[in-house]
Amino acid sequence: MRIYNTLTRTKEEFVPLEEGKVKMYACGITVSGEAHIGHGFQALIYDIMRKYLEKKGYNVTYARNYTDVDDKIIARANEEGVPADEYAAKMIERIDKVMREMDIDDPTLWLKATQNIGNIEDFISKLIESGHAYAAPSGDVYFDVSSFPGYGCLSNRSVEDMLDGVRVENAEDKRNPADFALWKAAKPGEISWDSPWGKGRPGWHIECSAMNRAAFGEQIDIHGGGRDLIFPHHENEIAQTESLTGKRFVKYWTHNGLIKVNGQKMSKSLGNSLLLEDLLKKYTNEAIKFALLQTNYRNDINITDTLFPEAEKHLTSFYKILDEVETKYGNGSAGNPEIDKQFDAAMDDDFNTALALSQLFSLFRHVAAKCAAGDASCAEDAKQIRATYSLLGLFKKDAKAYLAEVAAKSPAEDVPAEVKELAEQRWQAKKAKNWAVADEMRAKIDALGYCVKDSKEGYEVVKK
């Protein structure tokens, strides 16, 4: 099994620090707003990584964090006129709910900044004692970037490059412009905690380092997050932690790509954020997963107007085949291990869900052909597809229930009166066996972007 390591920029054979065990951490959500599709994608990817490592036989301890105190959270809480901790708790509850609707499992450990203030203060104190951090007269505490020669190893950038075009905050308090805050002195009315440096709250970067150390010790196997976190967040985590321990902090750094909407970066300022809550009203959670997992996790995903509808269409066709097979032959008495081996070969190559999903199309063609030919072994194949691909969150539902869910989320579109009239004329011509007129009406309907599906009960007009 090979994993792409951002630190070395190569795929490496996965060998954990301790045989049979994996310590894995992924940066979670800053709870200043609702969960959007980018949050869902990141949570889905690391949930899948954890499950696949468990399938490979590893005992995985998987931790995720909630950043539940920062500038944005305080600003939003002030807008609503509630304490910051109350606002954060409310948002965590809402985000947890929508993630469960997405059918994304909880990690082994949930970590929160506000529940680790003591660990954070201890971490900062040790950095000051070792000369890697310093307290400013303002009550802020900064990490001294010049004290860590390896700074820039993850992003492959020099300090000068990092500062180019970046606004430097509180420069008068810093020894170097690149130094970053470990502790922020409290402003009037802000949530704060007592510390050796006065009332304040943690800086963003120190949270993950301190929580990792408290949960796992000095080293972990896998650390993940979005690619936008490589600098400065993960770069700063490395500097803090390795300055304290003198050991390599993370063996494998993994980063998922970002979300674009019709070619543009998704952001609140552009007004193109796609909230998970809204998407789940339109599409099944499995369709959303199928759409996202068609792209290798390290690449950006461009969400076009057709991405989710196309994913729903493919899954619906797959579920119809499952329904036909399971209605005719039941759920199968055994599986097909070759399907599982094919899936594992894809996932062993840096969790290649895109390749794994591409295999489904030929698999379902074979299953449908077997079913049509009366070959009962199609039930074994169907059972194996369900068992194998459930790891990706797919084919976990009763087929008829899934098809009913899709129908409920996609109400029939109103057909224009002109098309309805043509369809009725065609139907009457068919009844009169006037095939030429019937074909003429069908061609006109087709030209208007609709098609007619005949059945024993009559006909149905649908948009192509």
445, 426 Cβ separation under 8 angstroms: yes
* The token pair that represents 448 in the structure block: 């208007």
Q: What gap in Å lies between CA 169 and CA 380, rounded to an integer?
A: 62
233 annotated ligand binder: yes
- Tell the residue number behind the tokens 């010790």, with chain if given: 217
How many C-beta atoms surround the C-beta of residue 266 within 10 A? Answer: 19
Q: What gap in Å lies between CA 89 and CA 84, rounded to an integer?
A: 9
Longest dimension (CA), the chain: 95
Q: At what angle do helices 353-372 and 307-329 cross, to 10 degrees?
A: 40
346, 392 Cβ separation under 8 angstroms: no
223 annotated ligand binder: no
Q: 403 CB contacts (<8 Å, ≥6 apart)?
A: 316, 319, 320, 323
Q: Which amino acid is at 184?
A: K
464 annotated ligand binder: no
* Composition of the chain by helix, strand, coil, percent to 5: 50, 20, 35
Handedness of CA 368, 369, 375, 381 (dihedral sign): negative
Mapped onto helix, strand or coil, the DSSP state of residue 214 is: helix
Torsion angle (degrees, nearest 10) of CA 239, 241, 242, 244: 110
* The token pair that represents 180 in the structure block: 């970053």
Nearest Cα neighbor of 47 from 249, 289, 341 is 289
27 annotated ligand binder: yes
39 annotated ligand binder: no
Annotated binding site for Zn(2+): 27, 208, 233, 237
**Positions at the binding site for ATP:** 268
Q: Which residues define the annotated binding site?
A: 27, 208, 233, 237, 268
